[in-house]
Chain A
Amino acid sequence: MTRTQKRYAAATARYAILTVWASLVAFPLYWMITTSFKPSDQWFSWPPVWFPTPPTLENYGDVWLGTSDIASGGQMALEMQTPFLALRNSMMLAFGSTALAVLYGSIIAYAVSRYRLLSEVRMFQLLMLRMVPPIVIAAPLSLYYSYIGLLDSMIGLGVLYFLSSLPYAVWMTKSFIDEVPREVEQAAEILGASRLRVVFEVVLPLIRSGLVATFMFILILNWSEYLLALILSKTHVVTLPVQLSKYEGSTEGRLFGRQAALSVGITVPLMIVGLLIRKHLARGFSFGMVRR
C-alpha cells in the first residue's frame, strides 16, 4: 500500500511540475493572443485586463489591411505600409534561401556520406558559418554590399541566409542519407546512371520526408532572422520581424495591440511548421551525437 501511495505521489508531483511549466510557457502566448483582440484602452490599464471585453478585430484590420488611420494614434504615419509587402519579402526570402540550402546541402551531404567530400574536422568547421554571429562582419558587409549593389536587395540577403543555413542543411540531410542502404545506388550506377542522376533520382526521393523535415527546420531559422535584415534592408526588402520593430517607432503611446496582432500573424505559421516536424527537431542540432 505504501508503495502504491509513493508511486501515486511521484506521479502527482510530476504532473504538478509539468503543469506549472506548461502554464509558464502558455501564459505569454495567451497574453499575446488576447492582447491582439483588445481595444486600445485596455492595453495598459491597471489592473491588467485578462480577457478583452469586448474583443475587437480592429488591431488585425489595422496592421494587416490598414483599414483605420494609424496616424491618428501618434506619430506613426511615416511610410507605414501594409505588411503584405513584408510578408511577401519574408516568404520569398525564407522559402527561396531555404530551398536552395536544402538542395545544395543534400548534394554536399551525399558526397560526404559516400565519397568523404569533407572530413569530420571540416564538417565541424562548416558549423562556423552559423555559429560566428553575423554582427562581427555586419558593418564592412553593408559597405561592400552597397558597392556591388546588393544592399537592400533580395539576393544580397538571400545569399547570407543560404550560407548561414547551409551547415544545418548538410548535417541534417546527411543524417538521413546515412540511413539509405548503398545497394540501391550501386544498382543504379551499374545501370549506367551518372553520379548526379543517382543523387537526384535515387537518393533524394528516398529521403523525401527527411528533406521536408530539414526544409521546415531551416525555414524556422530563416523566417525569424532579424539582425541582417535590419542592417541590410532599407525600404525594399523589409521582412516581417523588421516590420514588427517599426511599430516601436513612436516614443509615447506604444501600440501593444497592433504589435500583438502582427506577432500572432508571424508566429502562428512558424508554430504549425514546427509542430509538424516536432519528431525531427532533435536531429536538426544533434550532429550525429544522439544514437537511437
Chain B
Amino acid sequence: MTEAVASAVPADAAPGRRDVSRSHAVRRFKWMILAPLVLMLFSLLTPVLLLQLYFSFHQWTVYLSSWWNADFVGFGIFSEVFTDPRFGWAVLRSLAFAGGSTIGCFVFGFLLAYLIYRPFRGQALYYALFILPMLTVPIVIAYSGQMLLDRNGPINDILTLLSGHEVRVLWLSDPNIALLTVTLLDIWNWTPFSFIIMLAGLSSLPKEPVEAAQILGASSWRIFLEVQLPLLRPVILLALVLRFLDAMGAFPIIWALLQGGPGTATETLGVYIYITTWQDFNVSLGAAQSYITMVMMVVIVLAGIRLLRKEKRSLDSMYAKPHATGEAA
C-alpha cells in the first residue's frame, strides 16, 4: 500500500531531495495525528494502572486513614483472591453467562438471518422489527424484565394461559434459575447483533457456488452445509468472538436487575468486583480481583483478536487475486 502511494506521486516531481522531505512530512503528519491519543492514553492509564498495582499489594479499605500509608502485604491479597471460592464461582458464572448468551444469540440470529436473507414480501418490516432489541438501553431491559418476570407478571400469565394450569415461576428470586433468566434477557437484547452480522454475511455470499450446486442437484440442506457454511466461516467467527467478549464484561442488566442475587446466584465477575469495592469498600481486595480479571480479559481479548486477524488475512488473500485479474464480472 505504501508503494502504491509513493508511485502515485506525480512523475515530474524531482526525485531525491523532494522524496526525502516528503517522507519527513508524512512522518510528521503521522505523529501529529497520533500524539493526542498517545498522550491521553498515557496520562490516563499510567496512574490508574500504578494505583491498581499499589492497592493490590497494600492492604487498605476506606475505613483506614490515608491510603498512601497502607501496609505492604506482598502477595497476600492476591493469594486471598485465588483461594476465595466466591471468586472462582464468579469466573465460572461469567463464562457460563457469556457462553450461553453467545450460543443463544448465534443460533437464533443465524436462523433468522437465514430465513430472511432472500427477498420476500415483508422483509424490510421484519428486519426493522428484529433489530429493535439492540436499540434499547440495557438498563431499560433490566427494568422491563423486572415488570415482565414479576411473580404476577405477564410472562407467568401467558404461560398460565398456554399450559392451562396456574404457572407462577419465580424467575428472579429462585436462585436455581436466576442466572438462566438474565442469560435469556441478554439473548433477547443481543440476538439482533448476531442476526445483523450473519445477515450481512449471507447476503454477501457469491452466488455462483450455490447455483452450481443447485444445477448438480444438491438439496438445499446439503448446499447449506457444504457450500454456504464453509464460506461463512469468517463471519461466524466474527459473530461468536465479538459477542463473547462483550458478554464477558456484561454488567448493567445483571446489576440493575438482581445485584448478583438472589444470594450469589448471578454474581458474575463484574458484579463481584463492584460489590467488593463499592459495597464492602474493600478497595485492596477489589483491586486485586480487578487486576486478575484484567489480565484474564486481556488474554481472552487478544486471543479473540488474533483469531479474527488470521481469518481476515486469509480473506484478504482470497479476495486479492480476482482483483488483479479484473473483477468486472
Q: Does A182 count as interface, using CB distance less than 8 angstroms?
A: yes
- Contact, CB under 8 Å: B37 / A108: yes
Contact of A140 among B287, B301, B312 (CB under 8 A): B287
Nearest CB of chain B from residue A5's CB, rounded to whole Å: 17
Nearest CB of chain B from residue A148's CB, rounded to whole Å: 8
Nearest CB of chain B from residue A95's CB, rounded to whole Å: 16
- Contact, CB under 8 Å: B319 / A163: no
- Contact, CB under 8 Å: B305 / A289: no
Contact of A186 among B8, B255, B294 (CB under 8 A): B8
> Which of chain A's residues have a CB closer than 8 A to the CB of B8?
182, 186
Q: Does B251 count as interface, using CB distance less than 8 angstroms?
A: yes
- Contact, CB under 8 Å: B287 / A288: no
Question: Given A14-B115, A159-B40, A289-B312, are A241 and B252 also a contact pair (CB < 8 Å)?
Answer: yes
Give the interface size bracket for A toward B: 35 or more
> Which of chain A's residues have a CB closer than 8 A to the CB of B67?
143
Contact of A124 among B139, B291, B309 (CB under 8 A): B309
- Contact, CB under 8 Å: A290 / B235: yes
> Which of chain B's residues have a CB closer than 8 A to the CB of A223?
137
- Contact, CB under 8 Å: B293 / A241: no
> Which of chain A's residues have a CB closer than 8 A to the CB of B41?
163
Contact of B147 among A11, A25, A32 (CB under 8 A): A32
A111–B48 Cα gap in the complex (Å)? 30
Q: Does A287 count as interface, using CB distance less than 8 angstroms?
A: yes
- Contact, CB under 8 Å: B55 / A120: no
CB interface residues, B 288-317, toward A, < 8 Å: 290-291, 293-294, 297-298, 301-302, 304-305, 308-309, 311-313, 315
- Contact, CB under 8 Å: A245 / B139: yes
Give the interface size bracket for B toward A: 35 or more
Nearest CB of chain B from residue A109's CB, rounded to whole Å: 10
Chain B 116-142, CB-CB to A under 8 Å as 1, else 0, gives 100010100011111111111111110
Question: Given A111-B33, A291-B204, are A48 and B153 also a contact pair (CB < 8 Å)?
Answer: yes
Q: Which of A26, A133, A263 has the most CB of B within 10 A?
A: A133
Q: Does A227 count as interface, using CB distance less than 8 angstroms?
A: yes
A266–B140 Cα gap in the complex (Å)? 8
Q: Does B5 count as interface, using CB distance less than 8 angstroms?
A: yes
Chain A 267-287, CB-CB to B under 8 Å as 1, else 0, gives 100110111001001100111
* Closest residue on chain A to residue B234 by CB atoms: A289
A273–B145 Cα gap in the complex (Å)? 23
- Contact, CB under 8 Å: B5 / A132: no
> Which of chain B's residues have a CB closer than 8 A to the CB of A275?
128, 131, 135
CB interface residues, B 62-109, toward A, < 8 Å: 67, 108
- Contact, CB under 8 Å: A285 / B48: no
- Contact, CB under 8 Å: A138 / B312: no
- Contact, CB under 8 Å: B44 / A159: yes
Chain A 26-47, CB-CB to B under 8 Å as 1, else 0, gives 1111011001000000011111
Nearest CB of chain B from residue A64's CB, rounded to whole Å: 15
- Contact, CB under 8 Å: A282 / B199: yes
> Which of chain B's residues have a CB closer than 8 A to the CB of A70?
none
Q: List 17 A-B contacts (CB under 8 A).
A: A22-B129, A29-B132, A31-B144, A44-B152, A48-B153, A111-B30, A111-B33, A115-B2, A133-B270, A138-B273, A140-B51, A224-B136, A226-B138, A244-B139, A248-B256, A286-B235, A290-B238
Additional A-B contacts beyond A22-B126, A285-B242 (12; CB < 8 A): A25-B130, A26-B132, A111-B30, A120-B313, A132-B301, A140-B49, A140-B55, A195-B29, A224-B136, A275-B135, A289-B235, A292-B204
Q: A residues engaging B (CB < 8 A)?
A: 11, 14-15, 17-18, 21-22, 24-29, 31-32, 35, 43-48, 50, 104, 107-108, 111, 114-117, 120-121, 124-125, 127-128, 131-141, 143-144, 159, 163, 166, 182, 186, 190, 195, 220, 223-224, 226-227, 231, 240-241, 244-245, 247-248, 254, 256, 259-260, 263, 266-267, 270-271, 273-275, 278, 281-282, 285-292
